[in-house]
């Protein structure tokens, strides 16, 4: 009797999990298709032209670059190394790596459809602010110590 | 047993497909290449989708809404913050893949503050630490990781404060 109940509960839990995944598939497909477009039309070379003015603009450019880029986080470190080697500041490179994993312009519509407008706006504003501050403070910290 | 599925992001998907169709008329090869990029990303992350379905099953099986309320709800306190930080650090894959699980937790009583903490703590990725050290050095990696943890908690607190001040 108990085994029957457990297997029923497991079945129910699985279908609930499966259904909640199926429910977000249009959102996931939308993000993946948009990702494909960005990877095809926005190149690293294009984005590199944004750097090299001053600390604030470098942090902003790094954040913008990171938030519109996408892919495995390892790629962000490879690009960061390239950026540092080509003379881009550490501020910009750290903002870029951080924005890569925390901000995602491509996934904003998806976030909106799952969490709603209020959550999405507040969350992204706070994330943007944190990314700018952390990039600045981290470089400052290693310069002091 | 049969549940009506409420799809999320349908309008967004229609807009993206429309963009593809328009681009297809202007630059057919570009649209095809973009689609191939999409298939390549999908090919890399599909195992994560299976993991997400199994994780959601486990959450539904083992955790009742009252458990979620206790550990991640309004009265979860410092323990909830620690769970959210650890969850964020150990979670893998793209952020959007986790939206379904977070939505499920939220619908069962997890508070928004902890979802915010979870989402920001994802910036610390344990397998990426060696790469971070090789590019930025050890002191920088330690500093940025500590700041991420601090700002994840601050973001959660600020979110609750702003939410209460402007939306309630």
- Structure tokens belonging to residue B22: 């328009």
The alpha-carbon gap from A80 to the nearest alpha carbon of chain B, in Å, equals 7
CB contact under 8 A, B159 and A122: yes
B120 touches chain A (CB under 8 A): yes
| Contact with chain A for residue B65, Cβ under 8 A | no
Same domain, B84 and B142: yes
Binary contact (A138, B144; C-beta < 8 A): yes
Contacts of B139 in chain A (CB under 8 A): 141-142, 145
Burial of B67 (0-12, 13-18, 19+ CB in 10 A): middle
User: Does the beta carbon of B20 lie under 8 angstroms from any beta carbon of chain A?
Assistant: yes
**Closest partner residue to A126 among B9, B55, B159, by Cβ?**
B159
Nearest CA in chain A to B147: A134
Residues B87 and B40 placed together within one structural domain of the fold: no
CA distances A30 to A17, A36, A41, A42, Å, are: 21, 10, 17, 18
Is A74 in Cβ contact with B96 (below 8 Å)? Answer: no
Chain A neighbors of B93, CB-CB under 8 A: none
Residue A39 in contact with residue B37, Cβ under 8 Å?
Answer: yes
Q: Determine contact: B122 vs chain A, CB below 8 A.
A: yes
Q: What pLDDT shows up at residue A21?
A: 83
A15 lies in some domain: no
> Residue B108 domain-assigned?
yes
Distance from CA of B22 to the nearest CA of A (A): 12
Task: Note whether B77 and B142 are same-domain residues.
Answer: yes
What pLDDT digit, counting tens, does each position of B156-165 carry? 999 999 988 8
Let me know if residue B92 belongs to a domain: yes
Alpha helix stretches (DSSP H) within chain A: 2-23, 25-41, 44-48, 55-68, 73-85, 90-102, 108-115, 117-144
The complex's ipTM works out to 0.79
**How does pLDDT run along chain A (145 residues), one tens digit per residue?**
567 777 888 888 888 888 888 888 888 888 889 888 888 887 777 777 778 778 889 899 999 888 887 666 777 887 788 788 777 889 999 999 999 888 888 888 888 888 889 999 999 999 999 999 999 999 999 988 7
- Is B52 domain-assigned? no
In terms of residue numbers, what domain contains A121? 27-144
- Taking residue A140's Cβ as centre, other Cβ atoms within 10 Å add up to 12
**For chain B, how many structural domains are there in total?**
2
Residue B103 domain boundaries:
63-167
- Dist CA B148 CA B81 (whole Å): 14
- Tell me the chain B residues in contact with residue A8 when contact means C-beta distances shorter than 8 Å: none
CA atoms within 13 A on the CB side of A98: 37
């Amino acid at each position: 009797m108990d085994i029957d109940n457990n297997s029923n509960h497991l079945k129910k839990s699985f279908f609930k999990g499966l259904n909640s995944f199926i429910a977000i598939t249009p959102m996931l497909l939308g993000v993946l298709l948009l990702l494909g477009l960005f990877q095809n039309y926005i190149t690293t070379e294009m984005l590199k032209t944004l750097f090299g003015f001053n600390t604030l603009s470098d942090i902003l450019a790094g954040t913008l670059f990171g938030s519109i880029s996408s892919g495995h986080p390892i790629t962000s470190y490879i690009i960061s190394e390239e950026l540092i080697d080509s003379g881009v500041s550490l501020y910009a490179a750290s903002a870029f790596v951080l924005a890569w994993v925390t901000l995602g312009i491509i996934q904003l519509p998806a976030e909106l459809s799952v969490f709603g407008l209020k959550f999405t706006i507040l969350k992204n504003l706070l994330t943007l602010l944190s990314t700018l501050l952390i990039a600045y403070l981290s470089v400052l910290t290693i310069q002091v110590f | 047993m049969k549940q009506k599925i409420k799809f999320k992001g349908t309008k967004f998907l229609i807009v993206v497909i429309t963009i593809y169709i328009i681009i297809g008329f202007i630059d057919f090869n570009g649209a095809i290449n973009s689609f191939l990029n999409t298939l390549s990303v999908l090919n890399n992350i599909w195992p994560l989708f299976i993991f997400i379905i199994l994780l959601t099953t486990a959450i539904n099986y083992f955790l009742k809404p009252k458990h979620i309320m206790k550990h991640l709800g309004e009265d979860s306190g410092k323990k909830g913050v620690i769970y959210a930080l650890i969850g964020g650090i150990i979670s893998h894959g793209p952020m959007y893949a986790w939206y379904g699980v977070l939505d499920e937790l939220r619908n069962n009583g997890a508070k928004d503050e902890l979802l915010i903490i979870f989402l920001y703590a994802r910036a610390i990725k344990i397998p990426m630490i060696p790469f971070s050290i090789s590019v930025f050095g050890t002191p920088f990696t330690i500093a940025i990781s500590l700041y991420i943890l601090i700002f994840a908690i601050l973001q959660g607190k600020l979110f609750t404060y702003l939410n209460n001040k402007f939306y309630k």
